[in-house]
Amino acid sequence: MAEASTPNTTKFRRVMLKISGEALMGDKGFGLNPPTVQRIAEEVKSVHDMGVEICMVIGGGNIFRGLAGSAQGMERTTADYMGMLATVMNALAMQSALEGLGVFTRVISAIPMDQVCEPYIRRRAVRHLEKKRVCIFAAGTGNPYFTTDTAATLRANEMTCEAIFKGTKVDGVYDKDPVKHADAKRYERVSYDEVLAQHLGVMDASAIALARDNNLPIIVFSLDEPGGFKGILSGEGTYTTVGG
């Protein structure tokens, strides 16, 4: 069955969506919440229907976080590889939800596991995007000591994405935690260097530096806002742009 081509109705041709593993938990304290996975898949489909080519990277913190395992005495490299495998599980769950909505999807892993997903080959991944398939990049960069934030920035650059959309629980970047501080100020726009200097916590330092070096904007928005992802691509909504 051939994928149908949809005319692009936004200024973005190709984007990276980065979400945390915790975003898939919903109100559960661990693992996957199928209704939440379904809701996020519907958000992705609504943007895909606009003709935008979509890459995704999903963290694994809802199942296992390598840094936390290391802090509890586990050898860091082993813990990080366990975290990478958790991202593959999340990617497969998202693939199932998207394909249930009729969106053609490929899970592409930095760690080869041919029975469940494709190995990462850049040219093949680009071709999937050109055919309007959603590409979910799993297993991070394939290396310990690198987060999924860095993996998302790396893949976004390799796929020539025009922006990284970072879905969070709040509608942008604040000078302090808006959940704890009522007077927290939201930035409309903030520079890469300000994010690093003020420790604003958008992404880890290596991801921000990689985005800065390649002038790749990061758009931080609320994943909990229904229609928020599509709204921003349509020129609406509330968000913060991290840029040069």
CA 163 to chain centre: 11
For the record, the structure tokens of 204 come out as: 């880890």
**Rounded Cα–Cα distance for residues 73 and 60 (Å):** 19
Which tens digits make up the pLDDT trace of 76-129?
Answer: 999 999 999 999 999 999 999 999 999 999 999 999 999 999 999 999 999 999
Q: Does residue 108 form part of some domain?
A: yes
Contact 37, 91 (CB under 8 A): no
In a domain, 4, yes or no: no
User: Which residues, including other chains, have CB under 8 Å from residue 180's CB and lie 6 or more apart?
Assistant: none
Domain count, the chain: 1
Residues of the chain with pLDDT > 70, as a percent, come to: 96
- Structural domain includes residue 2: no
209 is a domain residue? yes
| Cα distance between residue 152 and residue 66, in whole Å | 17
3-state secondary structure of 190: strand
Residue located via tokens 């071709």? 127
**Side chain identity, residue 136:** I
N- to C-terminal Cα separation, the chain:
43
pLDDT band at 29 (very low <50, low <70, confident <90, very high): confident
**Residue 241 binned pLDDT confidence (cut-offs 50, 70, 90):** very high
Residue 47 host element (H or E): helix 34-48
Specify the pLDDT at position 229: 95
Q: Please check whether residue 183 lies inside any domain of the structure.
A: yes
pLDDT for 132 equals 97
Mean pLDDT of 128-135: 98
Q: Does 5 map to a domain?
A: no
Q: What is the pLDDT of residues 143-198, one digit of tens each?
A: 999 999 999 999 999 999 999 999 998 999 999 888 889 899 999 999 999 999 99
CATH of the domain at 50: 3.40.1160.10
Is 94 part of a structural domain of the chain?
yes
Tell me the pairing of strands 105-109 and 218-222.
unpaired
Q: What one-character DSSP code corresponds to residue 164?
A: E
Residue 8 domain flag? no
**Residues of the domain holding 160:** 14-243
